[in-house]
Amino acid sequence: MIELLFDNRDLFITGFLHTILLFVLAGLGALVLGTLLAAMRVSPVPALRLLGTGYVTIFRNTPLTLVFFFFAFAYPRLQLVDVSFFTRAVLALAMYTAAFVCEVVRSGINTVDVGQFEASRALGFTFSQTLTTVVVPQAIRSVVPPMTSVLNSLLKNTTIAAGFSVLEAGQITPALSERGAPLLIGMFWIAVGFGILVAPLTATQRALEKRWSVAR
């Protein structure tokens, strides 16, 4: 088994490096966009709430594969900025995952007592100041566990990009098939690789939960 890994180390190294890059870029985009959408969903402005709710409803109920199809085939017809398939994969993953990030952040915001909002308004804080300085710091404790699950799902969803000509871990199996290597052993090592990538996320979650644990 170990021979397959060493003989094809170029495939595994390149594939997983691209997977990590895809995950990091899409994850950062999803966190930023998802947090913005969560702020819109709890905004006192009805138009922003409607826009945020519409975005989340559409993307949460749309298969990720269809989102990839849009960026792979429909996006070029819009004749916008021409970008690589890798960039389109980042956009697809970020926009799809942002809907789930939004719900996690919104749920965390809802755990903060309403009195905190009222006290902030009484002190003259604006809505954005209330969120950034009062609500979000308290909500983080409730957000970490479900956010880790969302990021784990994002990491595994990166394999869908393999079907759209994006080089990452999902492309390892077809490449091994072309080389005549045993696919079951190859898939075993791919699973091990993803397990190694998920481990730091889980460890970080547990460390933060232990650090921020409070008496309920």
Q: Is the pLDDT of residue 123 over 80?
A: no
Q: Is the pLDDT of residue 28 over 90?
A: yes
Please report the pLDDT score of residue 16 as a whole number. Answer: 84
Number of domains in the chain: 1
Please report the pLDDT score of residue 216 as a whole number. Answer: 43
Nearest to 10 by CA among 167, 197, 125: 167
Q: State the residue range of the domain holding 79.
A: 2-212
For the chain, the C-alpha Rg in angstroms (whole number) is: 20
- H or E stretch covering 20: helix 9-41
Q: How many distinct helices (H) and strands (E) make up the chain?
A: 10, 0
pTM here is 0.83
Q: How confident is the model at residue 213 (pLDDT cuts 50, 70, 90)?
A: low
**CB 200, CB 213: distance < 8 Å:** no
Q: Is the pLDDT of residue 6 over 50?
A: yes
Q: How confident is the model at residue 26 (pLDDT cuts 50, 70, 90)?
A: very high
Percent above pLDDT 70 for the chain: 94
- H or E stretch covering 205: helix 183-212
How do residues 129-145 score in pLDDT, each as one tens digit? 777 777 777 777 778 88
Q: Is the pLDDT of residue 164 over 50?
A: yes
Q: Is the pLDDT of residue 29 over 80?
A: yes
Please report the pLDDT score of residue 212 as a whole number. Answer: 63
Interacting residues of 18 by C-beta distance below 8 A, sequence separation 6+: 86, 166, 167, 168, 169
CATH assignment of the domain containing 86 = 1.10.3720.10
